[in-house]
Amino acid sequence: MGILGLELLFVVLWSSGFIGAKYGLPYAGPFTLLFVRYVLVAILLLIWLSYRQRLQFHSKTAIARSAFVGVLAHAVWLSAALGAIALGVSPWIVALITALQPMFTNVLSGPILGESISPVQWCGTGVGLVGVVLVVATKLEGAAEAAPPIGYVLPFIAAASMTVATLYQRHLNRTQPEQNLPVIQSLFVQAVASAIVLWPLAVFIEGLTIEWSQQFVFALGWLIVVLSIGSYGLMLKLLEYRTAARVASLMYLTPPTTLVLGFLLFNDQIAWVDAAGLVIAAIGVALVYRGGADTPRKVKHTDPRRFLSMKP
């Protein structure tokens, strides 16, 4: 499968995360669901790596770097987004705020990574955001219900954490690829680190309470295999070949693709404005891809290796 096929697959798998939330959250709190998810991901990958005899990690530095990315891209990103929803913020408001992540990535990828953003790519980023707004705007009726202020801060934290994780992983892929862990090893370390961070939240806030059911088991399986291993593994692989801005722009396709999946799987209705939003978001992503190259430029007086480098 070519890179384009991997990108399309990533969008579909990433967008299917609502399936796990739809079937899992009624039976466990968000932190408990995430904690159990990453414990099981770690166990599953541990078994696989043991079977493949690949539990040899070449350096502590590589482990620390993967753990850092994992905490940001898994624990913080998902805890902040689901935590906001649990506090009463509309899921569509959360989707709209976290859709700012590609914009954050564009702003920072130039000075930090030396990956120039052309005018066409900036235009594509704006167009993609317009597409997301169109899809989300029709779902905001009655969404301004009472929620604590922290609930509206958490989605911004989620977007910022994923931005930093994306930039840092891309920085490592560009400057020190030989120091990176293979994808499966990296996912294992990320899962362990995420489970450790999520444990106190699940225990002390939610009491680690779970109502076991067939739906909950299905949700866990979907989140473990499709999301934690499938979509995150694809993201790590794409960041080896694509600029941070290009990979981040794929997030614009998540809300409209979620609607399409909801229509196909649950017969959810799609309005004409939703279809228009999907088309506009796709045009925006296409502009980001056509407007630049994956080869970074050199930035004067900027050494991207200074960005969050971890010494042995």
Give per-residue pLDDT as tens, 37-46: 999 999 999 9
Q: Give the orientation angle of helix 91-98 with respect to helix 119-137, to 10 degrees.
A: 180
- Residue 54 above 80 pLDDT? yes
CA-wise closest residue to 148 among 84, 100, 94: 84
**Mean of the pLDDT values across residues 279-290?**
85
Residue 221 is which amino acid? Answer: G
- How confident is the prediction for the chain on average, in pLDDT? 83
| 305-310 own/partner pairs: CB under 8 Å, 24+ apart | 305/171, 305/175, 305/176, 307/112, 307/113, 307/167, 307/168, 307/171, 308/68, 308/164, 308/168, 308/171, 310/61, 310/64, 310/65, 310/68
**Mean of the pLDDT values across residues 150-178?**
89
CA distances from residue 267 to 76, 110, 139 in whole angstroms, order as listed: 32, 42, 17
Give the range among 28-37, 40-49, 151-160, 173-182 with minimum mean pLDDT: 173-182
- Residue 96 above 60 pLDDT? yes
What pLDDT does residue 173 have? Answer: 85
**Mean of the pLDDT values across residues 29-38?**
94
- Residue 13 above 60 pLDDT? yes
Q: What is the length of the chain?
A: 312
The whole-model pTM stands at: 0.83
User: Cβ contacts of residue 248 below 8 Å, gap of 6+?
Assistant: 101, 102, 105, 106, 163, 166
What pLDDT does residue 50 have? Answer: 95
Q: Is 84 exposed, middle or buried (0-12, 13-18, 19+ CB in 10 A)?
A: buried
CA-wise closest residue to 256 among 163, 103, 133: 133
C-alpha span between 14 and 253 (Å, rounded): 10
